[in-house]
A and B are shown apart, each in its own frame.
Chain A
Amino acid sequence: MTPQPLLEVRNLSKSFHGRRSGDAKVMKAVDDVSFDILPGETFGLVGESGCGKSTTGRALLRLIEPDSGSVSFQGQDLLKMPRKQLHSTRRQIQMVFQDPYSSLNPHRRVGVILDEALKIQYRLPRKQRTERVHRILDRVGFAEDYYYRFPHEMSGGQRQRIGVARALIVGPQLIICDEPVSALDVSIQSQVLNMLHDLQVELGLSYLFISHDLSVVRHISHRIAVMQKGRIVEQGPTDEIFSNPQHPYTRQLLDAIPASHPRLARERRTALTTPVS
């Protein structure tokens, strides 16, 4: 028996209208999107720029109000929920954004940034909050003195880990990660990916992992959905999608990924130029 999904998205749609009033042009940014995320699972959402993957992530949390569909989290429809109740649900669903440079307040020390995130969600005495901030810093691999650092005193990967700590501190079950490593160099990207994986194993977290980078998505996801022009064209277990893609667009994406070794690149080029008999 498959476990009960943590999140069930059904027929989610969101259109944007042309900027001028009376503009007949309607852009279906998210078009009839459905998927589930299981507890402890990473669900990857891949596609090229403008395909609607970020809008999907935001619409789930109603950071952008969707037009129709349902988003059920632990059996409750987030789209029907009064705003006030939604606020407390956000304890359980957090977001991590792409840009570790702009998503942290540059004038606040790291400890204060984390404390503020906690204060929004819980009424806790100061001492308890501070304790929790220290615990979370430790959990994402920082020494104690990082409490007093400013974001600009840290590397991109360190800032992104603080972004993850800020999401974690309120104790979520699901984290929506929107291109969390795209701005990072590879050696630093790997720090963040490894950490997300370890936290998942340890805490049973679920992730919606949104990215344009197929290799990264493949590495971290249990299941994947491929999006094109607002629609999910294919979804399934990661290994199946990569070894046996069904949709032509998925194949096109996979074929475009640069080879991991020059020899493989040459083989592929020869294969493409030799006519099939």
Chain B
Amino acid sequence: MTNPALLTVTDLKTSFLTERGPVTAVDGVPFTVRRGETLGIVGESGCGKSVTADSIMRLLDEKDASYSGSVELNGRDLLSLPETEMRRARGSELAMIAQDSMSSLNPVFTIGNQVIEAITVHQKMSQKDAYRLAISLLERTGVPEPEHRMTQYPHELSGGLRQRILIAMALSGNPKLLIADEPTTALDVTTQAQILTLIRALQSSSDMASVLITHDLGVVAEMCDRVIVMYLGQVVEEADVDALFDSPQHPYTRGLLASIPEIDGDRSQPLNVIAGRVPTLHDVPTGCRFAERCDFATDKCRDSAPPLEDVTLETVDMLAGDATPRKVRCWNWRHIPMNTSATTAKAIR
């Protein structure tokens, strides 16, 4: 019951001109998002999650950022659209809640001004109709007393309410795809749970797909159908969410999963540590980008870069009931013993 593809990203590369020379922050990223599906993008700070999102939305300043590859939404390549058409697509076909968006509400305008503006940018309608639509959007996103909120200023609202309003604004054009970049990172845990529940409910009442960007694997476990793991601008693993937690293949994914103190984990065991640090974009290794920090690195790893390979894992996948293809960027994934991840044992219990 796989739905047709809505968004197909192929070999996306995004480079910036910097004082120290050009850098490629996103380097050959592929993925597909199907209708109604939630794709997670995880990885640590600086791995290129936001640049990927901003590239899909084409929000980067094209004076010093350049794209290659393709980003097809419903078969149309967004990267080659003229800016006027791209502007039309933003909001109505795809919308984004940016990483720092909580502070992007303008402090000097009322919530009403801003929600109505978000609506009328994309849709021709009278102020009266826009007001009515704004109220119904705020109702849909669980904002209590919407009429009153419309008259308030951003600073008068809690972080959770501001995030609901931003979601309402993103939904105003009925997008087919919502990109949410760390939508709950700035929120408290109870508010985060409410916002995640809201996004989930909104999705199940429409066939909206979403791309959820987060560094929090717990959020991935709660929300996502499929996941891509990024490291230094590249996808190192892609899998269904259960498969990723049950049988992470890439040494980086395994390391990441084993580093988290779990709420039901064994407290007497030390946490996993991934030694070393992420190289900078100015000195990207020639071989595997993870080699310096990898316990399984061989000479081949240091010499040549592994491709993102389609893999099928008969035994593990049957256990996890997973038939969908997955991808791994590692020369040695076949030879790495399965029990090297702390989460594995628990998941197969």
A interface vs B, CB < 8 Å? 48-49, 155, 157-158, 185-191, 193-194, 197, 212, 214-216, 218-220, 238, 242, 252-265
Contacts and interface: CB of A to CB of B under 8 A. Distances in A.
A261 B256 contact: no
A255 B45 CA distance: 27
Interface string B245-259: 100000000011001
Contacts of A263: 242, 245, 347
Nearest to A219: B261
Given A48-B188, A48-B189, A49-B188, 19 more contacts: A185-B44, A186-B217, A186-B256, A186-B260, A187-B274, A189-B259, A190-B261, A193-B261, A212-B188, A216-B261, A252-B190, A258-B218, A258-B219, A259-B218, A260-B343, A262-B220, A262-B221, A262-B222, A263-B245
Contacts of A185: 44-45, 215
A61 to B, nearest CB: 26
A218 B267 contact: yes
Contacts of A252: 190
Nearest to B216: A258
- Interface SS, A side: helix
Contacts of A254: 263
Interface string B191-204: 01100100000000
Interface in B260-274: 260-265, 267, 270-274
B263 A186 contact: no
Contacts, number: 111
Nearest to B219: A258
B265 A260 contact: yes
Contacts of B241: 262
Nearest to B245: A261
Nearest to B218: A258
Interface string B36-62: 000000001100000000000000000
A252 B193 CA distance: 10
Contact of B222 (A191, A255, A258): A258
B273 A214 contact: no
Contacts of A216: 261
Contacts of B188: 48-49, 212
Nearest to A239: B267
Nearest to B214: A258
Given A190-B272, A194-B270, A261-B343, A219 B44 contact: no
A218 B260 contact: no
Nearest to B270: A194
B193 A187 contact: no
B44 A256 contact: no
B270 A214 contact: no
A258 B259 contact: no
A261 B341 CA distance: 13
Given A194-B271, A212-B188, A260 B262 contact: yes
Contacts of A214: 189, 263
Nearest to B266: A219
Contacts of A190: 259-261, 271-274
A257 B218 contact: yes
A257 B193 CA distance: 7
A48 B343 contact: no
Contacts of B128: none
Contacts of B245: 261-263
Nearest to A187: B274
Contacts of B267: 218-219, 238
A260 B242 CA distance: 11
Nearest to B272: A190
21 contacts: A158-B277, A185-B215, A186-B44, A186-B256, A190-B274, A191-B273, A197-B270, A212-B188, A212-B189, A215-B260, A215-B265, A253-B190, A257-B189, A258-B192, A258-B222, A260-B264, A261-B221, A262-B221, A262-B224, A262-B245, A263-B245
B221 A265 contact: yes
Given A48-B188, A215-B262, A219-B265, A261 B273 contact: no
B346 interface: yes
Given A215-B262, A216-B261, A260 B270 contact: no
B237 to A, nearest CB: 15
A98 to B, nearest CB: 14
B185 to A, nearest CB: 11
9 closest cross-chain pairs (CB), A and B:
A258-B218, A219-B261, A190-B271, A187-B274, A256-B193, A48-B188, A185-B44, A260-B262, A190-B259
